[in-house]
Amino acid sequence: MTLELPDNSPMLSMPWIITFGPMADDDEWEPVVCGPYEREHALGLAEEIVADEELTAVVEPLLPLVEIERIREEIAVARALADEEADEDQDTDLEFQAEDYEDEDDEDDEGDEDEEYDEDDEDEDVEYEDDEDEDDEDEDDEDEDEDDEEHEHAGAPSPDEIRAGFARIAARLTGG
């Protein structure tokens, strides 16, 4: 799966990554992310790997954003698109469900008039013993507090620091 872009799109010149993952929902393993590549190379590699194995491959551009505000804007756009899609799906689901359940409700009401629902039948008293675990939890909390003190937030890098990092990464990728 990849974005279909017009020939003059500025995204074509960006670096691209490939995310390989399981095709079936019952396969559980972490996706493998590779790249960056030029778009044509990413597409060729993804097609070659997927042709030999039952995998999914998502080819997408990396956004070399260096300003915090631009990153936040991209996140906001992605969230808005997801919400929009979810709203469209929900609207469709509601219409579908309403049509399906109208007939079923009529059928269910006819045969269940004599049955009564008793909430007490479902409630059971269950006791749990976790006195021993409380001591372990207290020790874990103390360890987490110590870790938090050691790993304080360093703050965001400046755009110039990020660009310098891009240059270092590019040098490593090219063996320089």
Q: Tell me: do 77 and 47 sit in the same domain.
A: no
Whether 169 maps to a domain, the answer reads: no
- At residue 15, the 3 state secondary structure works out as coil
Q: List C-alpha distances in Å: 168 to 18, 38, 155, 172.
A: 21, 18, 20, 6
Task: Give the model confidence (pLDDT) of 3-33 as tens digits.
Answer: 678 899 988 999 999 999 998 888 889 999 9
pLDDT digits (tens, 9 = 90+) for 52-75: 898 999 999 999 899 999 999 999
Cα gap 144→62, rounded to integer Å: 34
End position of a domain, from candidates 47, 77, 107: 107
Can you tell me the distance from the alpha carbon of 35 to that of 16, in angstroms, rounded to the nearest whole number? Answer: 6
Banded pLDDT at 88 (limits 50, 70, 90): confident
Strands (E) across 3-150 are located at: 16-22, 32-37, 55-61
pLDDT per position as a tens digit, 117-171: 444 444 445 454 554 454 555 555 555 555 555 667 788 999 999 999 999 999 9
pLDDT at residue 102 is higher than 70: no
Model confidence at 101, in pLDDT bands (50, 70, 90)? low
Does residue 168 belong to any structural domain of this protein? Answer: no
2 within a domain of the structure (yes/no): no
Is the same domain home to 19 and 60? yes
Q: What is the pTM of this model?
A: 0.58
Q: Is the pLDDT of residue 96 over 80?
A: no
Q: What is the pLDDT of residue 45?
A: 96
Residue 176, domain member (yes or no): no
**Total tally of structural domains belonging to the chain:** 2
User: Which residue range is the domain that position 84 belongs to?
Assistant: 65-107
Q: Which residue shows structure tokens 């004599």?
A: 114
Q: Which amino acid is at 36?
A: P
* % of the chain with per-residue pLDDT over 70: 63
